[in-house]
Amino acid sequence: MLGENHSIMHEFPEYQDTIVKLCQSDDTFAQDTKRYNTLDKEIRELELKGAPIDDTAMHQLKLDRAELKDSLFHRLSTNT
C-alpha cells in the first residue's frame, strides 16, 4: 500500500527490546536504523504526494531501504 509505515520498529515488533539495546550500545546499528527510518519516511512522503520523482529514483530509494532492512534484520537476529 502507498504511504504504509515500514519503520524498523513497525517491521520487527518482536525485536523492539533488541532494537533499543543495540541503538544504545552500537553506534553503527543506531546510524543504520536512523538512515533506514529516514529513507522509509522519504518514500512514504513521496508516495503520498504522487511520487514526484522518476521511477528509477523511486526504485533506487526502495532498493536502498530493502538492503538496509536486510542488514538490520541480520544483525537483530544474531543478537537475540
What distances in angstroms separate CA 63 from CA 24, 36, 56, 70, one per listed residue? 27, 11, 10, 11
Q: What is the pLDDT of residue 3?
A: 67
**pLDDT of 6-40, one tens digit each?**
899 999 999 999 999 999 999 999 999 999 999 99
What does the block give as the cell for 32?
Answer: 543504520
**pLDDT of 51-80, one tens digit each?**
678 889 999 999 999 999 999 999 999 986
User: What element of type H or E holds 3?
Assistant: none
Show the 3-state SS of 55-80. Answer: HHHHHHHHHHHHHHHHHHHHHHHCCC
Nearest to 72 by CA among 30, 39, 42, 38: 30
